[in-house]
Chain A
Amino acid sequence: MNSISCADGQPMEAILERHPREEASLIQVLQDVHRAYNYLPCDVLVQVAEALDVPVAKVFSVATFYKAFSLDPQGKTIIKVCTGTACHIRGSGQVIEEITRQLGIGPGQTTSDMGFTLKTVNCVGACAMAPVLIVGDQVHGGVKPAKVAKALNQEGPRDAH
């Protein structure tokens, strides 16, 4: 089980108030929880199951099905590197290598100061801009390894690696 981060329970109450207490609200509630905590803490999933009267197994099934949900704590800024066909051909591999070199994390990993999480995605639908790098909300097109440092610096302090 992952760690607990909702001792006060405040965000949970607000989230549950926004949605009807029924099974159909499950994904919206999970999205709100993910926004509030930046991941899905296991004890919160149990609370969601109780509040919506859905079996915990179902909640866990949904939470593990969607890539948008993470059961591990995420960094403050999410870095997404597109590895779709166009981006792959135009060098997304080197972009990932450069990020790994600078931050010391591979795809799916988070820096020890919880600053960045690196993810690979299969296609963001902007193939004309390949290779695409998304840092937080900022989309960078035509990224070369030399541009990675600048893209990362815009978002926050770099890890000490």
Chain B
Amino acid sequence: MALGLIIIYAIGPMRANVLNNTYGTNYGTHDFFLGQLRSVLISVAAFFLAFKVIPYKYIQKYSKPIMITALALSVLLWVLALSGSSLAKCELGECRWYNLGPVSFQPAEFLKLALVIYLADFLTRKREEGVVGKWQEFWLPLLLVCGLSLFLVVIAQGDLGTGVALISIIFGTLLVAGVPAKQYLIMLALVLVVAVGAVATSAHRMERVNAWLDTLQGAESSDSTYHIENAMLAIGVGGLTGVGIGNSVQATGYLPESINDSVFAIMGETFGFIGLLIILVVFGALLLRMLKVADGTADMDRRILVIGVFSWTLAQVVVNIMAMTSLVPVTGITLPLLSYGGTSMLFIAFAIGCVCQISCYTSREVIKNEDISSRGRLGGSHHASRRRSS
């Protein structure tokens, strides 16, 4: 988060300048930095709230109302957008935000958190009832809730990035919830077919895919390849050590979304390969740590929740970075904790707070076991790899 703050501090003035020049807006030099600082402070508060203040039991208890509230907020936004209300804030024709005076709020971010909490509870209950994998008791309600969430996010809000995160959460949690492998793979295949169909039938999504293919083949530059090319250009210019803080030229308006979705590319330009590698290692450590917490958590409900947060983070990190490096087509998705954007940071901070709480809680209960297990596992794999190589 501190790193994100530094970057926003460095490129915020440029961003303000570019926006002011291009659209005649009137951003102050440090508006973006202050905005990010505000988001960071709120997010840190949310983190500690989830970590230390609210016991997970309560969150678990209210999982259904939370999910209903999250769905209701998205439905309400959709209705407001359709009725053309000024409460719905739209950009580029997609209405994803509530307009609340000085701040805006993106209900889809809340929906991700709610879905994680809800699925943790739902899947655990179904396991206890022993109906996992049954059509009527398990798949039907699951499809209903997940389908509605995806519809609201992908169709109503036109937000494919959040859709990808939701799908990742759903399949991540299903995986550890013990859904039979055959059913799991069938569902995964089904979703893939639907996703490919959705992309193929949408002109604007196909354009992104084609742009991606064009870039991979090194075809002539065009309007649609502009974003991805400039992201790669920023990363490529960074070289080994980067151009240094405040020297990013791509941030001066060449790279679209330079402070939110494309912030990774700007970091690549600023800090170079070494910097990005450190960021990757930090994210990797975070993700592996979550897996360790999940593995070490005795309570299935909590384990699923941690895996939900893990899947969410993984989806955002991987899809964002892969889009910036042209490994997948560009999708609007933020880089957790680093991108500019209050709602996204707030909820993922809260979610990670929950994981931390669970991790403490867990380690207190199985403290010995976890220690031994982690040591054993490390030694084991080490040993195994040696054996393979000899």
Judge: A and B partners, yes or no: no
Chain A contact residues, CB within 8 Å of chain B = none
Chain B contact residues, CB within 8 Å of chain A = none
